[in-house]
Structure 1
Amino acid sequence: MADPDGNVARAVKLETATISDALDRLGIVGQCYGIKGRDPDFRMAGRAFTMRCGPNSTPPGTVGDYIDDVPEGAVVVIDNHGRTDATIWGDILTEIAHRRRLAGTVIDGVSRDVHLCRTLGYPIFSLDHWMRTGKDRVQVEEMNCVVAIGGARVGPGDILVGDPDGVIVIPHEHEEAVLAAAEEIEAAEDSIRAAVRGGMRLDEARRQFKYHSLQTRKDAE
């Protein structure tokens, strides 16, 4: 997926913890609660290709025929309503997604065949992993729609960032404000670390670079 404004490239340089503080400052909920990498070293950033799933109908629907339509560099975002008794992603999808150079997959639910995503280094973030198939249990209901992932709203084209701390979403309409705030917070924290390494007391460095107000709501300052 193209990055004409360079915002995905900006986002990939930031930690989710820093972006989380920026979201708090702006009063935006973007932290995807409970969503974790299937490998603790997984990192990703890209724009969302969203879908919402539900219980299977009769005759049964499908869970994976969309994958060839996902653009390179996108993050597959699957809202399975937190369902953990049946998977929605497995090794065939992992192999194709990796070959197509997708940025990663985020699931409000579970995945399986974890060995392959770890072997390939393909980032999958989900609530958990388990082996029971979703075939004839789960189906895709809608694509390119607004979904909920770990309590956070995700729209098509929103930026998602994942790292060892979890997954965060940057809403498209607030990208510039969130990224600018996160970059400011990162610069302040880097300055604190540099000052302490140079011999300054931590409390003094925090006062000097306004550490305690970095994530304070703007309208509260």
Structure 2
Amino acid sequence: MTNSIVQGNQNMEQICERYKRLYAALIFDVLEHMGHSYQAVSHELVPLAQGMKIAGPAFTVKGTTTCEKDESKRYKRLAMIKQMTHPCIEVRDAGTPFHVALYGELSATTAKAHGAVGALVDGGIRDSSHLIKMDFPVFARYRNPVEAFGRWMMLDYQVPVLVHGELTETVRVDPGDFIFGDLDGVMVVPKDLTLPVLEECERVMGIEDVARVEFARGDDPVAVFERHKRL
């Protein structure tokens, strides 16, 4: 197993576990308060199954359309997987306007063995039942059975990529940016803000937990809101 990524003195596995206690709407609010309002990925990218959640630094893959069935390109993509570091989220950009499955069971199985803990695919996936049985979280735009080989190929990896955005046409994802996704959607946290956003989200969640109890017992909602302004 490859070594875990370390950010500062924080082990990335621990950071991921802390992020998994959060939710996308809270991360959006905190990022917006910090001046980063356009980090939400398009609502078209959804989890393959209920309850799936992704949290980890991005390992980016840039692709393009092709009509060649060049085996050397396939081997290059397979070799790329060996460069992954646990615990990363593989992020594949659209790469092609055609409806092909950019990701499937074998991609996930190989990536998981080399450190990936999930995938964000701005396009199609296949082998869905296998992915669900693997309990490997994948977010994608659609599902179909169409083989990508001979229709799509990898250009490069660990370079900046663009994925469809919610408030903007695209959201840039740089290698190492933190990817978080749950049932509400996917957020891209700039790499340098990974810990500041996490710590602020945890602070706000503490406030919410207290306010939630007071709202539920019927306290004056205006007074509760004034006492526990989040941001």
The TM-score bracket by the shorter chain reads 0.7 to 0.9
CA distances 1:18-49 after superposition (whole Å, capped 9, x unpaired): 10111111221221112111112111211111
Matched to 1:54, the amino acid is T
- 1:204 aligned partner: 223
Q: Which residue of 2 aligns with 1:136?
A: 150
Aligned residues: 212
CA distance in 2 between counterparts of 1:84 and 1:205 reads 51
Question: Given the alignment, which residue of 178, 182, 196 partners 2:201?
Answer: 182
- Contact 1:86–1:133 (CA under 8 A) maintained in structure 2: yes
- 2:55 paired with 1:41: no
Q: Mean alpha-carbon deviation: is it higher for 99-108 or for 61-70?
A: 61-70
2:104–2:131 CA contact under 8 A, matched in 1: no
Q: Does 1:117 align with 2:120?
A: no
Q: Choose the corresponding residue for 1:23, options 25, 31, 38.
A: 31
Give the equivalent residue in structure 1 for 2:172: 153
SS of structure 1 residue aligned to 2:93? strand
Q: In the aligned structure 2, how far is the partner of 1:98 from the partner of 1:58?
A: 28
Aligned partner of 1:55 in structure 2 is 65
- Root-mean-square deviation (CA, aligned residues, Å) is 2.1
> Residue 82 of structure 1 contacts residue 108 of structure 1 at CA under 8 Å; is this kept in 2?
no
- Mapped partners of 2:152, 2:130: distance in 1: 22
Alignment TM-score, normalising by the size of structure 1:
0.86
1:73 maps to a residue whose letter is P
The offset of 1:173, in angstroms, is: 2.0
Give deviations 1:84-133, integer Å, cap 9, x for gaps.
51111112112223344521010111111100111111001111111111
Amino acid aligned to 2:222: D
Compared with structure 1, are the counterparts of its residues 83 and 183 closer, same or farther at alpha carbon in structure 2 (3 Å cutoff)?
A: farther
What is the Cα deviation at residue 163 of structure 1?
A: 1.4
Alignment partners' CA distance in 2, 1:179 and 1:189: 15
Tell me the amino acid that sits aligned with residue 90 of structure 1.
G
Take 2:98 and 2:185, find their aligned partners in 1: how far apart are those partners?
18
8 Å contact from structure 1 (residues 86, 110) kept in 2? yes
Q: Hey, what's the Cα distance between the residues in 1 that align with 2:67 and 2:97?
A: 16
Q: 2:95·2:152 contact (CA, 8 Å) conserved in 1?
A: no
1:167 pairs with 2:186: yes
Any gaps of 5 or more consecutive residues in structure 2?
A: 165-169
Cα pair 2:65 2:153 within 8 Å, conserved: yes
Q: Secondary structure at the match of 2:162?
A: strand
